[in-house]
Structure 1
């Protein structure tokens, strides 16, 4: 990386030197007849180009890193003016020609200022690119961590469901174990991907609800409705399931009363509208309902769909209502 950076710096400065040389030769082209040979004219342009770049190089490679970047601005200013004056003096002082020195000083002051503007512009672009890369890396690391948290959380809830059925000695338990294995297979495969088909994700939710519906028997009515054309739309895996899990956990699972869970997924153009409504038991311990699953998915939504999702949660005495809208084509995936 260091060798590549050094190589780029050398190439950039050689290119800048050649550009300044060309500009000097073009600007003095009208005076080419004053020189004995074209070669002597070229040497004149080469000398001026070197003097211009010398002031710029002293500033870029010595003064800025040693004084400006260390916030020693006063010393930096003095040394910058001094170095420009020194270059101008060497270039123009002949026979006490202070007028020529002054003009040359002002010219070099202008070219050095232009070089500084180009230097800081380039450095700012590099810093912005590095910060963008760091931010992207940080988001990827955080998303991977959040995705890893989803796996044990979902497995824990699913095993609880199977455990409840096994205690009831339900004859459906072996079939449900196989169904759970299919759900886990999808989860493991999808966790390796950044995006999956929305159709597959909704099918996963449907199979999960079928498992929960058998476990909850007749004391919970579950409705799952899908409307609209999926159109090959894609979504981050395991993004919607925490809302469904919480509807089961804090609704039907927390009471022996009759309960309902209504879930709908409608697609309009490229926007997914996902709605989860579950009834709340009449008597239940007070809970702020801030489990790992919901906090996890809220964070993932902010990272993946920062400006293209709207999440509204309404908690009333009788119902808990989650309404999520996501434009699936606008994301950081």
Structure 2
């Protein structure tokens, strides 16, 4: 990285030198007759170019980093004006004395100002690019952290379901353990991908609901409806399951009375409308503390779909309602290989 930066600096300065030389040759071409030979004309403009670039290099590599960037503004201004005057005196005093010195002095101020403008523009672009890379890396690290938290959270809830069935000595327990292993396999495989097919994600939710329905026996009615064309649509993995887990945990799991969970996934013009409604026990007045799952999914939505999702949560006395809309056509990810 350091070698690449040094090479870029060398190339940029060589390019700047050649550009200034070309501009000098073009501006002095009308007065070429004043010179004895073309060689003397070229040598004169080359000397001017060296003088101009000397001021620019002194300013960029000495004065700006050691004085201006350290907020020594007065000293920076004095040294810059002094260096410009010194070069003007050395070049202008060769011919007409103070007249040429003054002309060259103001010319160098103009060229130095233009060089400083180009310098700060380039530096700001580099700083902005570095900040964007840091922000991207930070978001990727936080997303990986949030995604990693989903795994133990989901596993903990699922194992509780299997444990509850095993205590009842249900004959379906071995089959449900096998189904849980399939759910975990999907989760582990999908966690390695940035996106998965929406169809696969909804099938995963459907299988999870089947597992919960068996555990809750007849005291919970679960409805899961899918409507619309799912083909080709992709979504970040394990993004919807926390809403479903929340409905089970704060609804049917928290009471022995009859409860309901209604879930729908509707696709309209590549927009997913995901709704979850669950009944609440009368003794529970508020579900403001939604737990780790919903807090994580909020943050993931803000990272992954910052301007293309709407999340509405309505916590009523006897009902908890979640309505999520995501425009899946607006995706910041490329297709994942080997889906």
Shorter-chain TM-score: which interval? over 0.9
Q: Counterpart of 1:7? A: 7
Q: Counterpart of 1:322? A: 322
After superposition, the C-alpha distances for 1:220-267 in whole angstroms (9 at most, x for unaligned) are: 111111111123111110000000000001001111111110111111
Structure 1 gaps of 5+ residues are none
Deviation of 1:94 (Å):
3.1
* Structure 1 CA distance for aligned equivalents of residues 124 and 286 of structure 2: 52
After superposition, the C-alpha distances for 1:304-329 in whole angstroms (9 at most, x for unaligned) are: 11111111100001100001111123
Q: Tell me whether 1:288 sits opposite 2:303 in the alignment.
A: no
Q: Counterpart of 2:24? A: 24
After superposition, the C-alpha distances for 1:161-207 in whole angstroms (9 at most, x for unaligned) are: 00000001111100100000000000000000111111111110111
How many residue pairs were aligned?
333
* Structure 2 CA distance for aligned equivalents of residues 288 and 95 of structure 1: 84
Aligned alpha-carbon RMSD (Å): 1.2
* Structure 2 CA distance for aligned equivalents of residues 23 and 231 of structure 1: 60
1:99-114 superposed matches below 5 A: 99-114=99-114
* Structure 2 CA distance for aligned equivalents of residues 173 and 5 of structure 1: 62
Q: Counterpart of 2:337? A: none
1:308-319 superposed matches below 5 A: 308-319=308-319
* Structure 1 CA distance for aligned equivalents of residues 33 and 96 of structure 2: 27
* Structure 2 CA distance for aligned equivalents of residues 69 and 123 of structure 1: 12
1:162-311 superposed matches below 5 A: 162-284=162-284, 287-311=287-311
> Are 1:254 and 1:284, in contact at CA under 8 Å, matched by a contact in 2?
no
Q: Tell me whether 1:78 sits opposite 2:70 in the alignment.
A: no
* Structure 1 CA distance for aligned equivalents of residues 188 and 161 of structure 2: 19
TM-score normalised per structure 2: 0.96
Compared CA separation, residues 285 and 162, structure 1 to 2 (3 A): farther
Q: Counterpart of 2:128? A: 128
Q: Counterpart of 1:48? A: 48
Which runs of 4 or more aligned residues in structure 1 lie more than 6 Å from their structure 2 counterparts after TM superposition?
Answer: none
* Structure 2 CA distance for aligned equivalents of residues 220 and 59 of structure 1: 76
> Are 2:139 and 2:303, in contact at CA under 8 Å, matched by a contact in 1?
yes
SS at match of 2:221: strand
1:79-98 superposed matches below 5 A: 79-94=79-94, 97-98=97-98
* Structure 2 CA distance for aligned equivalents of residues 305 and 202 of structure 1: 19
> Are 1:303 and 1:332, in contact at CA under 8 Å, matched by a contact in 2?
no
SS at match of 2:254: coil
* Structure 1 CA distance for aligned equivalents of residues 91 and 221 of structure 2: 92
Structure 2 gaps of 5+ residues are 334-339
SS at match of 2:312: strand
After superposition, the C-alpha distances for 1:289-313 in whole angstroms (9 at most, x for unaligned) are: 3311011101111111111111110
